[in-house]
Structure 1
Amino acid sequence: MKKYIIWAVLFAVGFLACYPVLFLTAGSLMGQTELRELLGPVLSGSGGYVRFPLMSLYPTLRNYVGVLMDSPEFFVMFWNSVKTVAGILAGQLLVSVPAAWGFARYDFPCKSALFTLYILLMMMPFQVTMLSGYLVLDKLQLLDTLWAVILPGVFSTFPVFLIYRFFVGIPQAIIESARIDGAGELQIFMSFGLRLGAPGILSAMVLGFLEYWNLIEQPLTYIKDKSLWPLSLYLPNIGLEEAGTAFAASLLTLVPAMLVFLGGQDYLEQGIMAAAVKE
């Protein structure tokens, strides 16, 4: 009996977690007439309660056709998002991974103070650094370009903090054995650091993708040219009268994030377990 109660509770929690996706899916398959009828109190502002079943009475793919075939700006923003996220993640691999290795494996002056500064910067919300970032990007003449979003993301401190935990967990005996065998520092980093720290690196990349795929504040602050906006800014520009298009676009925007999450789920779990192990 106890087992069935646990199953029932887990099922209820799982359903609540999946309900937003079911809501989006159902809305994306509804025609404009059906949506207008169900969402009338919201669309007309007349008051009352919204009715929203999880199954359309007359399913249609018209909303997807409208987004994929009749909305070229959707594809422009999609590729802007792809270029932005790819640039940020590639830059983090080049910057954050060596930085985390340096903090984890080497001693140098002011190491603790510098790492504490990294943590403080990681805790600061975007609103705190927005003005200073704007002024720096303006001096570099990078405003109103994709680089205005890419460069701050490349030098984000969160990946350094996350990957650092995995590099610290590599036994020092392995490093010393490699040095005794004549391996250089670069060879140790490439052969042991990257391989043994791969779960942490991949975890940081997955979390980074999920974060930067949904950026809103940074593009709105640094980019005025709407042709350079990412996909995350496509949805706020859809009016309530186009609810079906909004549902379809929301689901299409969600698909890449879901695929990346499902593909990197094992690495995220390994990363969480590794980070939880104390030295």
Structure 2
Amino acid sequence: MIFSGALMSTDEATQSLGGIFDGTSAVHWPLIPNSPTLQPLIEVLLDTPEFFVMFWNTCILTFPQLIGQFLLASPAAWAFSRFTFRGRNLLFTIYTILMLLPFQVLMVPDYLVLDRLGLMDTIWSIILPGAVSTFPVFIMKKGFDGIPVSVLEAAELDGAGAITTYIRIGLPLGIPGILSALLLSFIEAWNAIEQPLVFLKSQNLWPMSLFLANITQDDIGIAMVASVFMLLPVILIFLFGQRYLILGIQSSGVA
């Protein structure tokens, strides 16, 4: 539907979705447009500069979160999986509880902390909470749990220290869990609406998710093309990372 709508003229798209806009339930959406046109695509690429700004904003808000999760969540997951220390089970239980809490519950505490730090209405108000998310820790830990103890014992006998074991054994063997966690985090961050809407007041910092939400009925063609551009990265990453996602979920015991 979205891909065919990207090739429709504004008039044809509005007519096809007329049942939604005039309050009736009758909607006729052809699989192939009656008069295919590249007009919406040209309009987005040449006459909608704010689209490129928000596409770039989406990248800026998303990829630093993934880098932060890899640098912070993977060592934390390795520590939970392979080290024994006092309060480990209690701390991991707290991580799990925080993972289950929806954004609506954490919104006010996050807002107060970010406002106190002076980070409101900056990209860091989105990047930092995402980078310290507890969800990747849970997935990565379950992936690290699947590494045979005999491999770690062999590395220890060879004189490998804790950091060396993590870098040379933990990371390579834990790739399925790491990539599956980052893939799921990418989809969540790329499509985020509530966090940018609450923490970003300046529209020049908005991601594409908010750009699409503010397109009017008169710009239905632009909405379809913008939706395609927003959907393509998710589809491509999912297709190329599907194997690791399945392996990661299987190793984590979630399936």
TM range (shorter): over 0.9
CA shift digits 1:46-104 (9 cap, x unpaired): 63512111111100011111111111111111111111111100101110000000000
1:12-39 per-residue CA deviation (whole Å, 9 max, x = no partner) reads xxxxxxxxxxx11111111122223222
The 2-side partners of 1:71 and 1:61 are apart by 14
1:204 aligns with 2:181: yes
Match of residue 42, structure 1, among 20, 36, 45: 20
1:150 paired to 2:120: no
- Confirm or deny that 1:92 pairs with 2:69: yes
Secondary structure of 1:183's aligned partner = coil
Structure 2 unaligned segments of length 5 or more: list them.
none
Partner of 1:31: 9
Q: Which amino acid aligns with 1:107?
A: T
Q: For residue 108 of structure 1, what is the aligned residue in structure 2?
A: 85
Counterpart mapping for 1:108-257 below 5 A = 108-257=85-234
Identity, in percent, stands at 47
User: 2:14, 2:217 within 8 Å by CA — same for their partners in 1?
Assistant: no
CA distance in 1, matches of 2:27, 2:85: 62
Q: AA paired with 2:47?
A: D
RMSD: 1.4
Give the gaps of 5 or more residues in structure 1.
1-22
Runs of 4+ in structure 1 deviating by more than 3 angstroms, as ranges, are none
Q: Deviations over 1:163-222 (max 9, x none)?
A: 000111111121112111111111101111001001111111111111100000000010
Residue of structure 1 aligned with 2:38, choices 43, 61, 65: 61
Structure number with greater Rg is: 1
Q: Deviations for 1:222-255, whole angstroms, at most 9, x for unmatched residues? A: 0100000111111011001221111111111101
Matches of 2:4 and 2:173, distance apart in 1: 44
Q: Distance in 2 between matches of 1:254 and 1:48?
A: 26
Query: How far apart in 2 are the matches of 1:277 and 1:117?
Result: 19
- CA–CA distance in 1 between the matches of 2:25 and 2:142? 52
Q: What is the one-letter code of the residue matched to 1:126?
A: F
- SS of structure 2 residue aligned to 1:78: helix
> What TM-score results when the alignment is normalised by the length of structure 1?
0.88
Quick one: structure 1 residues 265 and 173, their matched pair in 2 at CA, closer, same or farther if it must change by over 3 Å? same
Which shows bigger deviation, 238-247 or 224-233? 238-247
